[in-house]
Amino acid sequence: GVTGGLSGPAIRPVAVRAIWQTRAAMLEGRLPTVPIIGVGGVRSGRDALELVAAGASAIQVGTATFNDPSAPVRVGRELAGLLQDKGFDRLTDAVGVAHGRLA
């Protein structure tokens, strides 16, 4: 923690995996079920959807705001469009969907 940490797009694959593993542990009863906030490298609606499909029920947009202060609004709009395109009525319908497809 002296010099800072790794953030932004470089950690998104790690974030997706960590969320997927945490959600799987919840589904197996090894962890209590709680909301997961998807954090790490979210720059687009597609990035956000990957975290949601892995099990996140909310998304944080951080580093992207350094270059684009309106990134959270844009990402939300893009995510809403993707959810609609994929036939989801609500965000909650897509949370953890990747687990069902692998079962």
- Dump pLDDT digits (tens) for 42-93: 999 999 999 999 999 999 999 899 999 999 999 999 999 999 999 999 999 9
Q: Which residues pair with 68 in a beta bridge?
A: none
Instruction: Give the tens place of pLDDT for each residue, 82-99.
Output: 999 999 999 999 999 999
In 3D space, the residue among 49, 64, 56 whose CA is nearest the CA of residue 23 turns out to be: 56
- The answer to whether the beta carbons of residues 79 and 57 sit under 8 Å apart is no
Is the pTM higher than 0.85? The answer reads: yes
